[in-house]
Amino acid sequence: MATSTLKSPDSLIGTTGADRAYVLLRTVFVVAPILFGLDKFFNLMTQWEAYLAPWIDNIVPGTARQAMIIVGVIEIVAGIVVAVIPRYGALLVAAWLGGIIVNLVTMGEYFDVALRDFGLLVGALALAALAFDRTAREH
Condensed to tens digits (0 to 9), the pLDDT of residues 24-55 reads 999 999 999 999 999 999 999 999 999 999 99
pLDDT digits (tens, 9 = 90+) for 76-95: 999 999 999 999 999 999 99
- Give whole-number Cα distances, 28 to 3, 24, 54, 56, 63, in Å: 33, 6, 30, 28, 30
Mean pLDDT of 116-127: 98
Q: Is the pLDDT of residue 10 over 70?
A: no
CA distance linking residue 73 with residue 53, whole number of Å = 19
Mean pLDDT of 110-136: 95
> Percentage of the chain with pLDDT > 90?
83
Mean pLDDT over each residue of the chain, to the nearest integer: 91
DSSP-derived secondary structure letter, 63: -
Helices (H), the chain: 9-13, 17-42, 54-59, 64-84, 86-107, 111-138
Residues whose CB falls within 8 Å of the CB of residue 5, separated by 6 or more in sequence, listed in order: none
CA distance linking residue 18 with residue 60, whole number of Å = 40
CA distance linking residue 41 with residue 49, whole number of Å = 11
Confidence band, pLDDT 50/70/90 cuts, at residue 11: low
Q: Is the pLDDT of residue 114 over 70?
A: yes
Q: Is the pLDDT of residue 6 over 50?
A: no
pLDDT value, residue 139:
63
